[in-house]
Chains A and B, each alone.
Chain A
Amino acid sequence: MFIEIITYRVVGCSNIKIRKDGSLTVANIIVKNLNVFYGKKQVLKNIDTKINSGRITAIIGQSGCGKSTFLKSINRIVEEENGRINGHIYLDEEDILKEDSQILRRKIGLVFQQPEAFPMSIEKNLSYIMNYHFNYKKLELKERIKTYLQMVGLYGEVKEELSNPAKNLSGGQKQRLAIARCLCLNPEVLLLDEPCSALDLKNTLDIEKMLLELKKKYTIVLVTHNLSQAKRIADDVIFMSEGEIVEEGSSKDIFSQPKSRKMREYIEYMEG
């Protein structure tokens, strides 16, 4: 009974807000006139877009087009890498650039491209984060670790070796562990930078299945260079080129009738 309640609270809707009209939803991200600089180099130019809650949005484009930077600015980790952000990013009504960066990052989890497992045990990879943000008792902490690992489909594989060093995990397992690390923040938004770039097909499909499951509770944005992946799981697609958004729209529209020449060329190039 006890376990069930906890699971409900975590997997349930603690991050979901109830709007005035009674609808349940997680936050939308609205980006207005966003410019990002690294030193003198402008990486993102005049980005204006809206990322809808409860859907998977895929950002596609050639490497170096600024898609990773876009993801990193939503989480403001760009600032830690000495980038400058100009403009506005709203999470529903709040301007995240005015918020405390630590509180913000708790709401907006980011999974890096080829994330590292922290040099500690699998358990500690998660408790390290939860101990900072929450005041869980020991038993609850254990339950939560189990829950989050289950959510990313890792628990079954590693339940015997939770106290072993996480560096021994395989690439796909590390990727899922990193997603679990984000989930344990209890975020509203999940940002993923090429979550499947170094994985084989089976691992990729596992992660995609998991994302489709998670999108009910989180706003998910993922950067990918894999067009077929975007087609498979994305609801919305943003196509970027040279730091600007060229085209955006629902996945169906954009792939069936690309409007711009750049987008057509890109699709042709990617599909050989």
Chain B
Amino acid sequence: MKRKVLDNLIKSILIFLGLIAVGLTLFVFIYVLYRGRRVISIRFLLDNPSGIPFGTAGGVFPAIIGTLMLGGLSALIGGLLGILNGLYLSLYSKGTKSGRILLHLITILSGLPSIIFGLIAYTLLIYKLGMGKSLLCSAITISAMILPFITIRAKKIFDEKGYTFFIESESLGLSKPYIIRKLIIPNCLGELVGAVSLGMLYGMGAVAPILYTGVVMNAPIPTSVNSPFMSLPYHLYMLANSGYSDEYALGTAFVLLAMLIIIEILCHLFASFREGVGFKRIFR
């Protein structure tokens, strides 16, 4: 009898605490999406920011485009290098000492705080190399940050969906690069796109690394990789921290979250279409 009371007590405590945890996570989405939706209009999405203090009127269009450009460019550099590193770790150096050391190194790097990338990029790229605050400068920084992240995921994908095919192909006298080009990459493409997109989302949301390397409060849509740019998270940070316009900050957060969700859903769709499952697996 006492056992039963105790059991029920444990059960209710766990469910109580668990519900709070799940509620907190849902709160993040609901708060932004529910309260932010009123700010969203065509004008907010497609206009340049204006007003005094700056950003309290108009829209966030250049910031949306800037964020996407930054994400795309970083995904291109970091994604390519990350996938190539993943190939090396999984297929070229599996089980060797150098491979293990490299894997440990990359694990450490993936835990490196984003601010360290920002600090070093700022002193090295802006001061030492004399690059101006620019999209390219920020993209290099973000690429370095997401590189270990993508490397680890790519390695895992190749280990799981490539290694057995790889060894069997090698036993038929095929060369490593040929197997990679013809079998491994096509077979893992869906997962690789997913991994790179996750890295891209992670990079798009970061503020610390781009703080002094390229992002500005007011800039037109960048015309080249050498121009400074606007970014949604930075815009949100400035609006929220100055406290001028809570409403516009909410709108910016809404757009940021919506972009995140849309890109994630697109990735899921891409992956499930490749596996021929269709829409069923959007939620796992």
Contacts and interface: CB of A to CB of B under 8 A. Distances in A.
Q: Do chains A and B touch in the complex (CB under 8 A)?
A: yes
Interface of A: 75, 77, 80-82, 101-106, 109-110, 112, 115-116, 118-120, 128-129, 132-133, 178, 181-182, 185
Give the size range of B's interface with the partner.
10 to 19
Contact of B170 (A105, A116, A181): A105
B164 A102 contact: no
Nearest to B170: A80
A133 B173 contact: yes
B173 A118 contact: no
A39 to B, nearest CB: 9
Contact of B172 (A105, A116, A120): A105
Contacts of A82: 94-96
Contacts of A182: 172
Interface in B86-102: 94-96
A132 B183 CA distance: 12
Given A80-B167, A129-B174, A119 B94 contact: no
Which of B94, B164, B173, B174 has the largest number of chain A CB atoms within 10 A? B173
Contacts of B171: 75, 77, 105, 109-110, 112
Nearest to B94: A82
Contacts of A80: 167, 170
A116 B165 contact: yes
A179 B183 CA distance: 19
Contact of B167 (A81, A103, A104, A133): A81
Contacts of A77: 167, 170-171
A46 B94 CA distance: 27
B168 interface: yes
B95 A81 contact: yes
23 contacts: A77-B170, A80-B167, A81-B95, A81-B167, A82-B95, A82-B96, A102-B173, A102-B175, A104-B173, A105-B173, A106-B173, A109-B172, A118-B165, A118-B168, A118-B183, A120-B183, A129-B172, A132-B173, A132-B175, A132-B178, A133-B173, A182-B172, A185-B173
Interface of B: 94-96, 164-165, 167-175, 178, 182-183, 186-187
Contacts of A109: 171-172
Given A82-B95, A82-B96, A115 B173 contact: no
A115 B178 contact: no
A181 B165 contact: no
Contact of A112 (B94, B168, B183): B168
Q: Which 10 A-B pairs have the closest CB atoms?
A: A105-B173, A106-B173, A110-B171, A82-B95, A77-B171, A119-B187, A102-B173, A132-B174, A80-B170, A129-B172
A120 B179 CA distance: 13
Nearest to B96: A82
Nearest to B166: A80
A185 B173 CA distance: 9
A43 B170 CA distance: 22
Nearest to B178: A132
A118 B172 CA distance: 12
Nearest to B182: A128
Given A102-B173, A105-B173, A185-B173, A115 B95 contact: no
Nearest to A80: B170
B273 to A, nearest CB: 15
A102 B177 CA distance: 13
A104 B172 CA distance: 9
B275 to A, nearest CB: 11
B85 to A, nearest CB: 19
A101 B171 CA distance: 9
Given A116-B165, A119-B183, A181 B172 contact: yes
Contacts of A133: 173
B180 to A, nearest CB: 12
Contacts of A75: 171
Nearest to A114: B164
Contacts of B164: 116
Contacts of B174: 102, 129, 132
A115 B168 contact: yes
A109 B164 CA distance: 16
Contacts of B175: 102, 132
A181 B187 CA distance: 19
Contacts of B95: 81-82
Contact of B169 (A101, A104, A118): A118
B160 to A, nearest CB: 13
A101 B187 CA distance: 25
Contacts of A116: 164-165, 168
A104 B170 CA distance: 11
Contacts of B183: 118-120, 128
Which of B94, B172, B186 has the largest number of chain A CB atoms within 10 A? B172
Contacts of B170: 77, 80, 105
Which of A103, A115, A128 has the largest number of chain B CB atoms within 10 A? A128
Nearest to A82: B95
